[in-house]
Structure 1
């Protein structure tokens, strides 16, 4: 067994392995930290104007807690971590690969760095590939968040117990069988992609640009504080610019659950944008933005710091 240890260690210290493991851990840790805000954000995005999550972010968090308890605040987080590990890992692996194999840039401190347009292209590629790799799990997680909220409301209004919430496997199978197979599992992937791709591109580009301003030679704790700060800035800027497409992503994911009950029905992305503007006004494009920023800003900050720390630990091992 001992003879395989050096090979195993060498494999883990490879650039691809480091990026994959560090990226996956960064995604899982960061999303768990902000899971309550993620759940409320989805509920705010897909509700109609007559539903009851309109009293503010923290009131909505409290309402979910009252209706479903602590498990309700983390509903879908287990599935989200299963999804986000490869989602985040693929992003960092593709980004690092773009640096070395497409643009031939080392990217180490004190060496050549990507130009901003190269960062945007690399970020767009890793965003698109990560969506394709994990989209069915993202769709099911969104539906799980909505269905458990609806079940809690029905149970309260009828004053009796109703069927248990559907499980992940059950939702995957049901979606595949009833909504056209693979096509059903990728329902909403287009509006998702046009939102995620520019978001990831901006996130990587802004973070990498700001990282160049961090003074060299400072102690690790101070450097990590700087990275936490610029990670928050990069996530906030990227999400605010691309948020309307994130809202479209969630709405298209739940259309097949009963568009009339949820208060909207669209024939396509263009129709959705026009309809939201007419029926909900400009604010409609940013419904749930506050909840999303409470999720994205700390999540992105934690993700970048965890990624950098794990990478440093694995390289030093």
Structure 2
């Protein structure tokens, strides 16, 4: 009995509540939108001529026709393994930053109690938690991107597709292959710089926008209406953050698959600046936003579900 009470006390600590709730929120939200996540990656890495050029829903239908239901969720298992710590780290670092750095709850001795962070503080805390989450989980993100495209009907990969479809390598095999054949630890973090450039401001804007919008919530709302508003606020904050930072998300995917095969995907970049200028020159302005529509179909419901699940799970854990 004493152990049970002690376990509940440990479970209810702020860090553990944020850790568990953040992980669950990430896994649930990404599973809900997994088909759009895979299509987004396919659209991002395709060349100017590709089989996936008839729109988001057409691409989803094509993946389903070619690979069935498993194709729509290919890479999602690893994505959940990745997103649980990724999302958990974000919420833990953000909450810890609020308490320890900005003392938003007055936990430090002699600190004045603050009800809300200021917007610049939200942006700083969001940027910090975004950077920490990238460093903690990047190799899994790289492998998940490889898993998403290795069986796809990309025109320039067609010559090797038959062999890949017979027995596509799994996550562990891919990790081993990348480490052994592509440059060791550095290869596992290939693309981490453009990823960080995109993720850090994305998370910062997402967290800051959501918490700012929450301040507009009427105090007399019922539970159902309050949850609906959280969904709306999460959707708006995620959509805004992704649209602003999307070109860097595209760069992240392209750098992650640069070394696959013999340059079948049709692009080769020397660095972030070279990639930006090359995309603009070869693919035009629209090249920076290739796959954005599919990404918004993923991000808007994903962030909405993530914030709602996080808040509800936090309340349940604290009340248990």
Question: TM range, normalised to the smaller chain?
Answer: over 0.9
Q: Is the aligned partner of 1:67 residue 2:70?
A: no
TM, length-normalised to structure 2: 0.94
Q: In 2, distance between residues paired with 1:179 and 1:171? A: 11
Indicate how the Cα distance of structure 1 residues 181 and 139 shifts in structure 2: closer, same or farther if over 3 A, else same.
same
State how far apart, in whole Å, the 2-side matches of 1:52 and 1:147 are. 14
CA contact (8 A) 1:155 1:162 kept: no
**How far apart, CA to CA, are the structure 1 residues paired with 2:279 and 2:291?**
14
Is 1:41 matched up with 2:44? no
Shift of 1:73: 0.2
- 1:1-317 map, 5 Å: 2-106=1-105, 112-150=115-153, 154=158, 163-258=166-261, 260-317=263-320
SS at match of 1:262: coil
For 2:114 and 2:230, how far apart are their aligned partners in 1? 19
TM-score (norm 1): 0.95
> Would you say the 8 A contact 1:151–1:162 is kept in 2?
no
**Cα contact 1:30–1:299 (8 A) shared by 2:** yes
Partner Cα distance (2:284, 2:194) in 1: 20
Please tell me whether the aligned partners of residues 103 and 114 of structure 2 are also in contact (alpha carbons under 8 angstroms): no
**Conserved in 1, the CA contact under 8 Å of 2:46 and 2:154?**
no
SS in 1 for 2:17: helix
Structure 1 unaligned residues grouped into runs of 5+: none
Aligned length: 314
RMSD, aligned α-carbons: 2.0
Mapped partners of 1:147, 1:278: distance in 2: 27
Give 1:4 shift: 0.9
Q: Is the 8 A contact 2:78 2:144 kept in 1?
A: yes
> How far is the alpha carbon of 1:312 from its aligned partner?
0.6
The 1:198/1:162 distance shift into structure 2, 3 A limit, reads closer
| Structure 2 gap ranges (5+) | 107-112
SS class of match (1:148)? coil
